[in-house]
Every structure is written in structure tokens, then in C-alpha cells.
Homo-oligomer: A and B are copies of this chain.
Amino acid sequence: MNTGELVELGQQLRVDSVRAAAAAGSGHPTSSMSAADLMAVLFARHLRYDFDHPDHPGNDRFILSKGHASPLMYAVYKAVGAIGDEELLTFRKNGSRLEGHPTPRRLPWVETATGSLGQGLPVGVGIALAGKRPESADHRVWVLCGDSELAEGSVWEAAEQAAYEHLDNLTAIVDVNRLGQRGPTRHGHDLDAYARRFQAFGWHTVEVDGHDVDAVDRAYGEALSTKGQPTAILARTLKGKGVEAVQDREGLHGKPLPEAEDAIAELGGPRDLRIRVQAPSGSGTSGAGAPPAGNTTALELPRWDKGEEVATRNAFGEALAALGAARGDVVALDGEVGDSTRAEFFAKEHPERYFECYIAEQQMVAAAVGMAARGWVPYASTFAAFLTRAHDFVRMASISGSGLNLVGSHAGVAIGQDGPSQMGLEDLAMMRAVHGSTVLYPCDANQTARLVAAMAGLDGIRYLRTSRGESPVIYGPDEEFPVGGSKVLRSSGRDRLTLVAAGVTVPEALAAADALEGEGIAVRVIDLYSVKPVDRDTLRTAAEETGCLVTVEDHHPEGGLGDAVLDAFADGRPVPRLVRLAVRNMPGSASPDEQLHAAGIDAESIAAAGRLLVGEAIVS
């Protein structure tokens, strides 16, 4: 397309954005209009993409970080022929693929769900990183950012990683339209303010008039020819560009244009220009750049003998290294605590597939999302407590339908002296509440290893909780642990009570069962290693046969194991009487044993609760 055609194309994208929002009665046309020329030039002149084969490994990748500008995205999809005009006008309607914010669950050309700002660039960095290192591919990543979202710290975590990793295959296009949702941004049209920041982090920058299609074309060319560093294109634009009634005006964010027909006329009316997008490099749907699928050699998990004392975090590290040897598509990321999480075991054996993300948990999870989007199987680890830092990224990953393995170490008060800032005590609640998630909490080394391997084959967000201290190996190395299952560790026909534990509370529950048995109280013990999905059948059987339950968890009382157990009884059937033991105090520094005791989740406390419950006393 020549200059005149590109200008016309930009107007077409504006018109279609206005039309889509008008049909929906909601949406963000003004935020679309500012970036229309940027998109016209990118898709018509620079992006290489096969819309018929979105999985083509040679495809460039485009991310609409300012996800609310979805009308513009869908207008582009129409212009490239991926959707028709009729579908365009289903925007935001029940059942339409064209949601308020684009998601890959619905549309194959979307890399990652956006709509929570400041996430597109971080995920783009992950895709670009995969392209550089394990793939050695020549695809490029283009991310369209808003100016408002540069206030999110996650953008600067991304900027830091991108420059440090020399991601010259990454271009951020910033639509500096000066206006946020409720008014002007901090920096308005001061492109230099943004350029200084990107440059300081090591990026190449280009400042440009975002409505001058030739200048934009040259800027993209400059990005393509810049080697050794990523490029940020800072484009001065006007929100609502092209329609006098809304252009560069406040108070019009997220609203359809007041007089859509007039606006469309002012923009020159509908057009039907078609973009011919450049083909990706390479051919076919597999080959260069794609990660190898599945096992490449037989998986040989580490094995431990019963009675050994091993920390589950160590078992995680060893199992992950073994999984990495068996599967070429496994990658690992860590937040500068690989010596604690034991992700370093993987790093030593597979350095080319290990990504040190430093202390930037949001970026770590975002990079994992990006890699998963390219077909890699990422394991991202840090302290369970610090995964809270990335909660919004996990939430958005679940909306994307992304397949992530997240591993949180140093769970609970059992870490001991370091104190509450380092203790994951809300991670089970956070991860259980993620749509479609899997939550696993192993108690011994062999169980951990099996679950680390099983995670890789699941859908959605999978979370594994590991512990700092050593714990006894209670299962043999050939024992199997299906996700959604549990293990009944003690059982008899005389059981008057069931103890439900997981992780560090399993040995405590066994000790409590011993004590109670010695007093003539037979007790069932369930290791509920699969916190979500939960083993409803086993819990229901236990409830029917023993009548009452004690749940015990190294976690706050809300949202964790106790709640998971009750999920087995949320369908109207009789619910067993139960007592829930959990961490209700604010811990300080103390030894692990002192901590478990102070929280009331050690063997002694469990036995006491059991005695009261079978005596039918009310505990609190």
C-alpha cells in the first residue's frame, strides 16, 4: 500500500471502530481511533503473519496491550479478511467471539488476554525471549501499548528484562494519546519523558507523529534494523482522531461516539480496503522455531527410599531437572531465588532453557505466559508468598486459557525463623480461586516428583506448593498420585474420626493418629495432596464411615484445605461435623516446631481437636 492507501486504511479502521461500538452501545472507539494509523501501517507493511495458520511458527506476534481498543483490533481482523462485517457488528454481544477485551480462548489470532493494563509488554517479552533463546527463530513481536499503562511497574520489569536479554526482535509501539480514563496522563504529549525512561533501561527509541503514516513506516523500519536492543516507538496521537466532536477531548473514554452516523460521515464513510499481510518466513505449520512436542526421551524421575528425610522443594528441583531431560519443551523461570526453590537444579542441567527473571515476579509469570503461548511448557517458581505479587497476571493467564506451572516454595509457618513476610499463608486461597486451576500440595519427595511430572499434561493454571524443611519419605517411588485423588494412610472399620491433612501437616496428622489410637480412638488419615480438584468420593466415604472430620493446614483458615474439603459436600448431601485447624495467629520468628505448635496445627493440637470432636464437644 502507498501513502494514500494507508491513510485511507487508517480511516477505514476508525470508521469500523465507531460502527462496532455503536452497534454494541459500549466500548472504546476513541482509544481505537488514536492508534488506527499505527495499526494500518503495521499490518499492511511490516507484520508477517498467516491468518489461516495462526500457529505457524514463523508468524510474527502482535499483542494489543491496550486491550480496551478491541474495536480497532476487530476492524483490523476485518481488513485482513479474518472476520466479516457482519461478525464485526456482533461486538460485545452475548455469544460473540468479539469480546470487550480480546481473548485467545475465543480468537486464534490473539496471543494473550489483555484488559488489565501493563500486561501486554511483559507477555511480549516472554514470546520474544522464547524466540531468541530456545527457538532461535526470526519472528518478531510487536506490542501496542497505551501511554496510561506505562505507570504500571510491570512495564518496567518488562523493559528491564527485554534490554538485558537484548531482545531486538521486540518492538513496543506506544500510542501516546495524552488522555487516560479520567483525564490527562502524568506526561501528556511529552514523548521525551517516555523516551528517557526507555533509554535509561537500555532501549532504542523513536519519536514519531503517530498520524503520519510515512513517518510511522520509517519508525518501524528503524525498529527492524536496530540490533542488540529492543525498540520503543513513541507515537504522538490524538484520542478520537478524525472526529472533531471527540478528538483530544476529556470525558469520552470508553463511550460510543455520541453521533455515530455524523462521525462516520466526517471520517469519509465506510470503505472496504483489504490488507494483504506479508507471509511469515519459513513454510508449513511446524519446523523452525517450534518447541519439540512431548517426551523426547523416557522420563526417569528421581527416586527416594521410604524413611529418608527430603525437602519437597528439593524433590521439585530434581524432578524438574529430570523432566527437562525427558521433554525438550519444558522451560523454567525463577525470581532470583532458584537456590531456595531448587529451580537451580534445572538451571545447571538445562541452562539454555532456564530464565533468570531476577526479583520481578510479575515479569516472571508474564514471560511464562508468553512462552506457553508459543507452545513451551513453563515452570515458574518463587516463594509461595511472593507469587501474590503476580496475582493479577495469574488471573489474566487463566482468562487466556494459558497452561502454566507455578511452584511456590517456603509455604506456611513451617519455614520457621524468617517470619511472616516469607510465609505463604494465602497461596492456596489465591490459587484455588483461579478459574479452572489445579492446586497440588505434596507431603513427600516421591509424591512431589510424580506431581511435578503430572502437572505438565494438565490444562490451565497448575500450582504446586512445596516446603522448606525436610520431611520423611512415606511413599515408595512407584506409588502413583493421580491429580484429583488422595491417599488414605490409615483406615479401619472402627474409625470414629477422619483427619485430613496435606504437606507438612501429614506427618503431624499421622503422629496424632498414633496418639489417639493409643487411647483407643481409631482414626482415618487422608493425605489430600490434590487440593483442587478434590477427591470428593474418598472424603464422602470417610464422612459416611467416620462421621466427623478434622482438617489441618499450614495456611490461613480461609480458602485453603478446609474449604476444599467442604467443596465435596456443597451439593445438598449431608455434611459431616468438622473442626478446621489452620493458622489463625500472626506468626513471629520461631523454630518450625514452635511455629506449628503456636498455630495449633501440630500433632498435639490435632489430637486435642480429635478428642473433643469424637466426644461431641463444641470446640470454640
Q: A interface vs B, CB < 8 Å?
A: 24, 26-27, 67, 92-96, 98-101, 103, 105-106, 113-118, 148-149, 151-157, 160, 164, 180-182, 185-186, 196-197, 199-201, 336-340, 344, 358-363, 385-386, 388-389, 391-392, 395-396, 399, 417-422, 425-426, 429-430, 432-436, 532, 548, 556-560, 562-564, 566-567, 569-580, 586, 588-591, 594, 598, 612-613, 616-620
A422 CB contact (under 8 Å) in B24, B101, B572, B616: B101
Q: Contacts A395-B388, A399-B586 hold; do A359 and B94 have CB atoms under 8 A apart?
A: no
Q: Is the CB of B617 within 8 A of A101?
A: no
Q: A421 contacts which chain B residues (CB < 8 A)?
A: 67, 100-101, 103, 113-116, 396, 399
Q: A435 contacts which chain B residues (CB < 8 A)?
A: 425, 556, 586
Q: Is the CB of A579 within 8 A of B570?
A: yes
- Beyond contacts A99-B589, A101-B418, A151-B359: 7 other A-B pairs, Cβ-Cβ < 8 A, are A26-B418, A116-B389, A152-B359, A186-B358, A197-B197, A399-B586, A571-B620
Distance in angstroms between the alpha carbons of A564 and B429 in the assembled complex: 13
The minimal Cβ–Cβ distance linking A484 to chain B, given in whole angstroms, is: 15
Q: Is the CB of A574 within 8 A of B577?
A: yes
The minimal Cβ–Cβ distance linking A123 to chain B, given in whole angstroms, is: 13
Q: Is the CB of B24 within 8 A of A181?
A: no
Q: Contacts A200-B199, A589-B92 hold; do A395 and B385 have CB atoms under 8 A apart?
A: yes
The minimal Cβ–Cβ distance linking A63 to chain B, given in whole angstroms, is: 14
Distance in angstroms between the alpha carbons of A579 and B255 in the assembled complex: 39
Distance in angstroms between the alpha carbons of A351 and B103 in the assembled complex: 38
Distance in angstroms between the alpha carbons of A164 and B201 in the assembled complex: 19
A182 CB contact (under 8 Å) in B153, B186, B336, B574: B336
Q: Is the CB of A153 within 8 A of B153?
A: yes
Q: Contacts A570-B578, A589-B100, A617-B572 hold; do A363 and B160 have CB atoms under 8 A apart?
A: no
Distance in angstroms between the alpha carbons of A609 and B276 in the assembled complex: 53
Q: Is the CB of A185 within 8 A of B399?
A: no
A558 CB contact (under 8 Å) in B117, B151, B532: B532
Distance in angstroms between the alpha carbons of A81 and B433 in the assembled complex: 48
Q: Is the CB of B558 within 8 A of A429?
A: yes
Nearest neighbor of A536 in chain B, beta-carbon distance: B620
Q: Is the CB of A95 within 8 A of B588?
A: yes
Q: Is the CB of A164 within 8 A of B186?
A: yes
The minimal Cβ–Cβ distance linking A187 to chain B, given in whole angstroms, is: 9
Q: Is the CB of B559 within 8 A of A432?
A: yes
Q: Is the CB of A359 within 8 A of B117?
A: yes
Nearest neighbor of A148 in chain B, beta-carbon distance: B359
Q: Is the CB of A572 within 8 A of B579?
A: yes
Q: A363 contacts which chain B residues (CB < 8 A)?
A: 153
Distance in angstroms between the alpha carbons of A578 and B100 in the assembled complex: 35
Listed from nearest, the 8 A-B pairs whose CB atoms lie closest are A153-B153, A115-B421, A559-B559, A200-B200, A94-B590, A429-B433, A575-B575, A100-B419
Q: Contacts A92-B417, A116-B385, A420-B103 hold; do A613 and B572 have CB atoms under 8 A apart?
A: yes
A154 CB contact (under 8 Å) in B153, B417, B422, B425: B153
Q: Is the CB of B572 within 8 A of A548?
A: yes
Q: Is the CB of A181 within 8 A of B612?
A: no
Distance in angstroms between the alpha carbons of A307 and B571 in the assembled complex: 35
Distance in angstroms between the alpha carbons of A594 and B94 in the assembled complex: 7
Q: A338 contacts which chain B residues (CB < 8 A)?
A: 182
Q: A24 contacts which chain B residues (CB < 8 A)?
A: 417
Distance in angstroms between the alpha carbons of A385 and B361 in the assembled complex: 18
Q: Is the CB of B197 within 8 A of A359?
A: no
Q: Is the CB of A577 within 8 A of B586?
A: no
Q: A360 contacts which chain B residues (CB < 8 A)?
A: 151-153
Q: A564 contacts which chain B residues (CB < 8 A)?
A: 558
Nearest neighbor of A559 in chain B, beta-carbon distance: B559
Interface centre among A148, A360, A392, A589 (most CB of B within 10 A): A589
Distance in angstroms between the alpha carbons of A98 and B588 in the assembled complex: 9
Q: Contacts A359-B148, A392-B388, A419-B103 hold; do A563 and B559 have CB atoms under 8 A apart?
A: yes
The minimal Cβ–Cβ distance linking A412 to chain B, given in whole angstroms, is: 13
Pairs A–B under 8 Å by Cβ, sample size 29: A26-B417, A67-B421, A94-B589, A100-B419, A114-B421, A115-B418, A151-B160, A151-B336, A152-B153, A152-B157, A152-B389, A156-B156, A180-B336, A181-B340, A186-B358, A196-B200, A385-B395, A388-B395, A399-B586, A426-B433, A429-B429, A433-B558, A435-B586, A436-B586, A532-B558, A558-B559, A558-B567, A563-B563, A572-B616
Nearest neighbor of A556 in chain B, beta-carbon distance: B433
Distance in angstroms between the alpha carbons of A54 and B297 in the assembled complex: 63
A359 CB contact (under 8 Å) in B118, B386, B619: B118
Nearest neighbor of A155 in chain B, beta-carbon distance: B153
Nearest neighbor of A337 in chain B, beta-carbon distance: B181
Distance in angstroms between the alpha carbons of A425 and B391 in the assembled complex: 12
Q: Is the CB of A432 within 8 A of B182?
A: no
Distance in angstroms between the alpha carbons of A420 and B92 in the assembled complex: 12
Q: A344 contacts which chain B residues (CB < 8 A)?
A: 182
Distance in angstroms between the alpha carbons of A202 and B29 in the assembled complex: 33
Q: Is the CB of B399 within 8 A of A420?
A: yes
Interface centre among A180, A201, A433, A620 (most CB of B within 10 A): A433
A571 CB contact (under 8 Å) in B98, B155, B576, B618: B618
